[in-house]
A and B are shown apart, each in its own frame.
Chain A
């Protein structure tokens, strides 16, 4: 019985994967046909190209998003906050190595910023250094899977890879710096007095059916939440495509404007949005002549440093440490922004 059930699950999965691949490859010819043959729009006209761009990009991004979230969620079912805590407890005590490991685990560990406080307490209570804990807390929100998919879909794998690399760099450097500064005295006193005993870890005991079911749920929940932002964002992008001169922003946000990176970060820090909401803005900025480093710095400032998360962290950190946290992360984002502008 068990065996036939599993076979059916894998057969279903195979059919879905083939359907996904077919839809993805046929998308380009299908939209061309729809725009220029069915709707009879003129090829090369502003309006025709804008419609083709919209009809092609919306389903492409939604397909990529569903596929990626499915795969990422499967990977995440092998990790849990508890497992990450044990891994860091065993290998993360050395600064440097610990920071790198914590930042990498920040990508794959399922995490929501509401959990920042219990996670923080659990980590420092089990002897993980403060700076290593911060590397995790910075990497987890900064490297966002929705942002990753959107960057990959709209700007290609180079930009997506740069985004991950810069997120990791920021988390490692900012965490390491916070660790070096020895700021343990600015952690609320009750944190050090708490007793933490490890809970059981349910990530290892899951069956494949459960992992697949959870991935399916995640796709439904996340795509259900962000699809409207994607549609609106791409509509705005398609709308201004060709109507606003492409170098409109080059003077203020291009490479030559050295002050644009810190200004973009200063504007981005108090703003708070989810990744799907900020990507349309980034796409407009890039299209209209902003340089890549400046646009990515703006995006990471918006999604990585958020007011709600700092308010939550205030429960365990005294105000000076909150200030250092925000300051160091903002600084790291500025440095990475310059680095990109210089390299690209």
Chain B
């Protein structure tokens, strides 16, 4: 089971990252929890300077931009392997 977190204060960009991730989870049909992290001290634990951030199994995979579906698919497949 994967734990996936979207880091961000809830602006439009963070919501897009969440949408992309949700879609990939549904397409790949993986068992995963998707959590939105909006508390700043919690976000800062992942040492990021720009939101949105995406964390898979406690590893920061992307920060400061909206990744493509292909990228998210690759990260999730990697985390499962």
Which A residues are closer than 8 A to B by beta carbons? 80-82, 85, 110-112, 114-115, 117-119, 121-123, 190, 194, 196-199, 214, 217, 312, 315-316
Contact B44 A194 (CB under 8 A): yes
- By secondary structure, the B interface counts as loop
- By secondary structure, the A interface counts as helix
Q: A114-B14, A190-B41 are in contact. Are A199 and B47 (CB under 8 A)?
A: yes
- Beta-carbon nearest neighbor of A218 in chain B: B65
Listed by A's residue number, 11 A-B pairs whose Cβ atoms lie within 8 Å are: A80-B50, A81-B50, A111-B50, A112-B11, A114-B14, A114-B51, A115-B49, A118-B43, A118-B50, A119-B49, A199-B48
The listed residue with most B CB atoms (<10 A of its CB), out of A80, A115, A312, is A115
Q: A80-B64, A110-B50, A199-B60 are in contact. Are A118 and B11 (CB under 8 A)?
A: no
The listed residue with most A CB atoms (<10 A of its CB), out of B41, B46, B50, is B50
Contact B47 A119 (CB under 8 A): no
Of residues 1 through 42 on chain B, the ones whose CB sits less than 8 Å from some CB of chain A are 8-9, 11, 13-14, 40-41
* 4 nearest A-B pairs in the assembled complex, by CB-CB distance: A81-B49, A114-B11, A115-B50, A199-B47
B-side contacts of A81, CB under 8 Å: 49-50, 64
Of residues 44 through 69 on chain B, the ones whose CB sits less than 8 Å from some CB of chain A are 44, 46-52, 60, 63-65, 68
- Beta-carbon nearest neighbor of A112 in chain B: B13
B interface size (C-beta, 8 A): 21
Contact B48 A114 (CB under 8 A): no
Contact A118 B49 (CB under 8 A): yes
Give chain A nearest CB distance to B11 CB in angstroms: 4
Q: A118-B44, A214-B65 are in contact. List 8 more A-B contacts (CB 8 A).
A: A81-B64, A110-B50, A110-B64, A112-B13, A112-B50, A190-B41, A194-B41, A197-B47
B-side contacts of A110, CB under 8 Å: 50, 64-65
| Complex Cα–Cα for A121 and B11 (A) | 19
| Complex Cα–Cα for A119 and B43 (A) | 11
